[in-house]
């Protein structure tokens, strides 16, 4: 078995690409096959080196290695289509010699005019075949006019029928296709021609890709047959959908793999979630390691319908993976998401450990331990307003400051000595120390901050609450 992932570097690696790569990788690894990475950069104007690097880096981050391709080499190199133009030219010449293709001298203007005519008359917008049988001497005249020909493939009058591994039998009426370009007038290959030539020459046995490529399949099958090559097996994956069940796009939020990395998702959690978008592990498990996926994966068992991308489900899954990290690994994973100047701060590891159970992404850690990172807190006005009209809260803070003056930080002493209910004691003190009404266990926050900082913060909030209402921030 030989599968391939063949992205175009005209954009960054996104969720849909990554899932396609994952399913190819799992299929190959499950069957002991090979994974080929091919960069389809024939669009020289739009292909960018930085996009190629983003794709390669994203795959590596996800843990999806490849057996042949950029950085690995292989028996069918080169693996960049921009370096294979000579191969496409040779194949096109062979098809011309075997009368399975012909040169087309039609200009873009002529083609657009005929297309508009067909559409206006309710006809398929296919090529008319005008240049298939030019009168003797006509080619020479057109060349003398400076016209540069493209090469068109002759589509035979036969239906294309194939067995899709997911969809079953699929049939296409080739009369709706028309002779299509395989080599453009500038010598560059069309997508379908380059893909078919490379899949054949690289001995790809199974093509697993998105269902948006389904219309390309009949053209490629015709090309395999015309070149005398074995037709690979096909599986067309259903699309990933947004919450509105439309195809997932930027309007549904970020789809870039780099963005999820920046937001603090673990690669193993993201891979786990992508696998669940169309595949149900045996036994109904939701948390599945890459090794388990390889062992259990069956392409034929994938869902036939589109899978909805649910960011809240991804966040939940990521949280489960964060909880499974050892405290040491969790701290290490958090470091890139913290301000550089705080990474050597005494007590940082203990502060990070306090919030491991409450965050869903690594990027949330910095916010959750802001009370520790910042020396002077900015109290939100809505919190201040909650306590400034509460005489019990103010009394609690004053009494706690008196305790602190005696060197006692035990909050429960206010409950024992003064008889205040815990629900009245803990909120104002937590707000004074963290500028938030929610967070880690209060006694651990106090231990982490220490007597001096706890006293300073309680006094500062008291000063704010004691100001005239007009002086407090809105």
**Which residues are catalytic, by number?**
250
Distance CA 313, CA 447 (A): 34
Under 8 Å between Cβ of 355 and 299:
no
Tokens of 84: 């294979």
Query: What is the β-pairing status of strands 2-5 and 34-37?
Result: parallel
Distance CA 68, CA 348 (A): 43
DSSP 467: S
C-alpha pair distances (Å), 360 with each of 40, 154, 256, 266: 36, 56, 19, 10
Sign of CA dihedral 131, 132, 135, 139: positive
Under 8 Å between Cβ of 380 and 464:
no
Residue whose pair of structure tokens reads 């673990």 in the numeric block: 266
For 10, half-sphere exposure in the C-beta direction (CA atoms, 13 angstrom radius) is: 9
Under 8 Å between Cβ of 252 and 243:
yes
Distance CA 353, CA 316 (A): 19
Nearest Cα neighbor of 224 from 91, 322, 124 is 91
- Listed in sequence order, the residues at least 6 apart from 411 whose beta carbon sits closer than 8 Å to its beta carbon are 400, 425, 426, 429, 442, 443, 446
DSSP 380: -
Phi first, then psi, for residue 148 (nearest 5°) are -105, 120
C-alpha pair distances (Å), 226 with each of 3, 80, 94, 128: 22, 24, 10, 21
Under 8 Å between Cβ of 274 and 250:
no
Residue 73 bridge partners (DSSP): 69
Under 8 Å between Cβ of 8 and 43:
yes
Under 8 Å between Cβ of 270 and 260:
yes
Under 8 Å between Cβ of 355 and 426:
no
For 82, half-sphere exposure in the C-beta direction (CA atoms, 13 angstrom radius) is: 14
3-state DSSP assignment of residue 170: strand
């Amino acid at each position: 078995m030989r599968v391939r992932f063949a992205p175009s570097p005209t954009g960054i690696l996104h969720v849909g690409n990554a899932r396609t790569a994952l399913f190819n990788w799992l299929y190959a690894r499950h069957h002991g096959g090979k994974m080929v990475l091919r960069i389809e950069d024939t669009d020289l104007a739009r292909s960018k080196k930085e996009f190629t690097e983003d794709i390669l880096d994203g795959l590596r981050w996800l843990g999806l290695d490849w057996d042949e391709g950029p950085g690995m080499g292989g028996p069918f190199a080169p693996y960049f289509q921009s370096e294979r133009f000579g191969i496409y030219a040779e194949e096109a010449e062979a098809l011309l010699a075997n009368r399975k293709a012909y040169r087309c001298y039609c200009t873009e203007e002529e083609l657009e005019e005929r297309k508009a005519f067909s559409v206006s008359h309710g006809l398929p917008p296919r090529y008319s075949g005008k240049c298939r049988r030019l009168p003797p001497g006509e080619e020479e005249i057109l060349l003398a006019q400076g016209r540069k020909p493209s090469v068109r493939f002759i589509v035979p009058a036969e239906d294309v029928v194939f067995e899709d591994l997911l969809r079953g039998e699929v049939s296409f009426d080739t009369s709706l296709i028309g002779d299509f370009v395989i080599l453009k007038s500038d010598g560059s290959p069309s997508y379908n021609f380059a893909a078919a030539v490379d899949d054949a020459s690289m001995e790809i046995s199974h093509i697993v890709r998105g269902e948006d490529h389904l219309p390309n399949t009949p053209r490629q099958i015709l090309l395999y047959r015309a070149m005398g090559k074995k037709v690979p097996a096909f599986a067309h994956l259903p699309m990933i959908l947004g919450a509105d069940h439309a195809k997932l796009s930027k309007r549904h939020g970020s789809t870039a793999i780099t963005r999820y990395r920046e937001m603090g998702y673990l690669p193993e959690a993201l891979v786990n979630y992508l696998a669940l978008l169309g595949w149900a592990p045996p036994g109904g498990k939701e948390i599945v390691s890459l090794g388990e996926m390889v062992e259990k994966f069956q392409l034929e068992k994938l869902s036939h319908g589109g899978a909805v991308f649910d960011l809240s489900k991804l966040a939940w899954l990521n949280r489960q993976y964060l909880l499974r990290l050892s405290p040491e690994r969790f701290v290490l994973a958090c470091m890139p998401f913290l301000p550089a100047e705080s990474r050597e701060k005494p007590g940082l590891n203990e502060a990070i450990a306090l919030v491991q159970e409450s965050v869903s992404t690594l990027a949330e850690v910095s916010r959750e331990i802001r009370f520790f990172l910042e020396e002077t807190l900015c109290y939100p006005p809505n919190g201040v307003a909650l306590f400034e009209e509460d005489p019990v809260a103010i009394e609690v803070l004053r009494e706690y400051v008196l305790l602190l003056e005696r060197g006692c930080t035990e909050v429960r002493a206010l409950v024992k000595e003064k008889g205040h209910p815990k629900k009245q004691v803990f909120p104002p003190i937590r707000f004074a120390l963290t500028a938030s009404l929610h967070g880690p266990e209060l006694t651990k926050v106090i231990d982490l901050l220490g007597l001096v900082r706890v006293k300073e913060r309680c006094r500062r909030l008291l000063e704010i609450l004691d100001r005239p209402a007009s002086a407090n921030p809105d």
